[in-house]
């Protein structure tokens, strides 16, 4: 079971390393969108502190969306998806591997740059730590839920826009608890409750999403 | 070993075939023939379990492939008309990745040997996007060299190959049949497979 998951992760990471432009463009999108807000709003620390959690999280959702359409599309086009579906393992395990690889190249870099971007919003050290944590444990849920959307729109024309319409509403709970955790820290309430709910969302979606995705892929491959 | 019982295929509004039966034993090859759009590829996709038949059943070693699931796929090697190779990876990496994902043992030496047999010696470290169409096809076919699984399902395996490679592939397939393997393939060019029993099925 772990062998197939690690084989898929290894392959996808190797492919991502050969195609670094994809990773870098999503990351720079995140950096630029987040940096535009302080420039547009002006130097008002109170307002910026208030906006920071929401802005960072919305930008993280959009940056994750950017790479979703390609999650299965490339494999579908060159026929490797068929071979993955024919591997002597449940397809859900293959999808789990792909979701983990997607998080490693899209979610993890966001969490690593988030604290640096948070400084622009005058966030306190505590809030920055919570922000990093929240993005670290929330983004796997984004990859998992996104995989369902990517599989459902596989092979459709204009699939990219459709993925956003399908997936963004499902991201709302992650957005609420992710931004809420930072917000609660800023206001001094403590973000632990939000963080545990966020972790629960991530576990639930990582457990459930691969199987829903596998069912969607099966339909796409018929 | 492989049995199709009363298969029916409907794509969209059209019924492509119905009441299709065949039986294939160890060491036998089934040639699927028929004009374009007669349902050859659909039948192959049914045989590998990706397309559920409208009616009827496919059995492998006496059991329905839908219930065997993983067990059936562990006996199956499918080569579609897409090459299923990654352009960014080298032929060697492609071969090793495909084997790992299919849960097969393949070491570097075996993989290099397979690539040499398909005439890609010296190109194993070149990303596949720099290879020609025929060379990419050869990378895909290199999988068959060390393939020990009993059931091969090949969709147009001879496309884009030169004469020497067609002969080589015919040899690989007859070696497989001699070892007691089964093969089902579609093709428009009839190639003489020297070993095994060859059956033909024409879809119309």
pLDDT, tens digit, for every residue of A12-29? Answer: 999 999 988 888 999 999
Number of domains in chain A: 1
- A190 has a pLDDT exceeding 90: no
Q: Within 13 Å and on the Cβ side, how many CA atoms surround B48? A: 28
Please state the φ and ψ torsions of residue B192, each to the nearest 5 degrees. -75, 115
CATH topology of domain B1-75+149-204: Rossmann fold (3.40.50)
> Which pTM does this prediction carry?
0.91
As a whole number of angstroms, the distance between CA B146 and CA B129 comes to 24
Domain limits, chain B: 1-75+149-204, 86-147
Among A77-81, A126-130, B18-22, the range scoring the smallest mean pLDDT is: B18-22
Range of the domain at A121: 2-221
- B196 has a pLDDT exceeding 80: no
- For the stretch B90-117, pLDDT in tens is 999 998 888 888 888 888 888 888 888 8
| DSSP 8-state secondary structure symbol assigned to residue B32 | E
Q: Which of A127, A121, A125, A153 is nearest to A44 (CA)?
A: A121
- For the stretch B133-158, pLDDT in tens is 888 888 898 888 888 889 999 998 88
The count of other CB atoms within 10 Å of the CB of residue B64 is 15
Q: Which of B73, B82, B97 sits opposite A86 (nearest CB)?
A: B73
Residues of B in contact with A215 (CB under 8 A): none
Q: Is B98 in Cβ contact with A83 (below 8 Å)? A: yes
Q: Across the A/B interface, how many CB contacts are shorter than 8 Å?
A: 77
What is the DSSP track for A53-80? HHHHHHHHHHHHHHHTTHHHHHHHHHTH
Q: Is A8 in Cβ contact with B70 (below 8 Å)? A: no
Q: Is A18 in Cβ contact with B127 (below 8 Å)? A: yes
Above 0.90 for ipTM, yes or no?
no
Cα–Cα distances in angstroms (integers) from residue A168 to residues A121, A150, A189, in the given order: 25, 12, 28
Region A34-49: mean pLDDT is 90
The contact set of A with B (CB < 8 A) is 3-4, 7-8, 10-11, 14-15, 18-19, 77-80, 82-90, 94, 218, 221-222
**Structure-token match 């020297």, residue found:** B194
Q: How confident is the model at residue A37 (pLDDT cuts 50, 70, 90)?
A: very high
In chain A, which residue's Cα lies nearest the Cα of B47? A86
Q: How far is CA B20 from the centre of its chain?
A: 20
| DSSP 8-state secondary structure symbol assigned to residue A189 | S
- A59 has a pLDDT exceeding 90: yes
């Amino acid at each position: 079971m772990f062998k197939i998951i690690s084989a898929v992760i290894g392959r996808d990471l190797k492919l991502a390393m050969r195609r670094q432009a994809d990773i870098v463009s999503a990351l720079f999108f995140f950096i630029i969108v987040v940096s535009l807000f302080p420039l547009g709003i002006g130097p008002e620390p109170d307002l910026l502190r208030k906006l920071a959690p929401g802005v960072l999280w919305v930008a993280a959702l959009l940056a994750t969306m950017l790479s979703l359409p390609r999650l299965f599309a490339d494999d579908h086009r060159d026929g490797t998806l068929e071979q993955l579906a024919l591997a002597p393992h449940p397809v859900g395990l293959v999808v789990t591997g792909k979701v983990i690889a997607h998080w490693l190249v899209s979610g993890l870099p966001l969490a690593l740059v988030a604290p640096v971007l948070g400084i622009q919003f005058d966030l306190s050290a505590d809030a920055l730590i919570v922000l990093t944590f929240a993005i670290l444990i929330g983004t796997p849920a984004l990859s998992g839920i996104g995989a369902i959307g990517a599989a459902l729109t596989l092979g459709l024309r204009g699939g990219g826009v459709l993925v956003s319409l399908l997936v963004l509403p499902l991201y709302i709970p992650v957005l609420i608890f992710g931004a809420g955790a930072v917000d609660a820290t800023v206001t001094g309430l403590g973000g632990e409750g939000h963080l545990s709910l966020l972790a629960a969302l991530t576990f639930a979606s990582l457990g459930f999403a691969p199987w829903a995705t596998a069912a969607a892929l099966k339909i796409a491959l018929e | 070993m492989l049995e199709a019982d009363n298969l029916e295929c409907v794509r969209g509004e059209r019924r492509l075939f119905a009441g299709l039966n065949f039986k294939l034993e160890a060491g036998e090859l089934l040639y699927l023939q028929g004009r374009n759009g007669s349902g050859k590829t659909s039948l192959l996709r049914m045989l590998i379990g990706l397309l559920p038949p409208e009616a009827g059943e496919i059995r492998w070693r006496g059991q329905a492939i839908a219930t065997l699931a993983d067990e059936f796929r562990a006996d199956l090697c499918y080569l579609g008309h897409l090459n299923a190779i990654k352009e960014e990876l080298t032929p060697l990496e492609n071969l090793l990745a495909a084997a790992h994902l299919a849960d097969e043992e393949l070491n570097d030496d075996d993989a290099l040997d397979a690539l040499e047999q398909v005439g890609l010696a010296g190109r194993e470290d070149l990303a596949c996007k720099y290879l020609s169409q025929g060379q990419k096809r050869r990378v895909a076919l290199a999988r068959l060299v060390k393939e020990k699984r009993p059931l091969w399902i090949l969709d147009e395996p001879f496309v884009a190959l030169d004469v020497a490679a067609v002969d080589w592939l015919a040899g690989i397939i007859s070696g497989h049949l001699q070892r007691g393997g089964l093969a089902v393939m579609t093709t428009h060019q009839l190639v003489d497979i020297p070993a095994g029993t060859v059956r033909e099925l024409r879809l119309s």
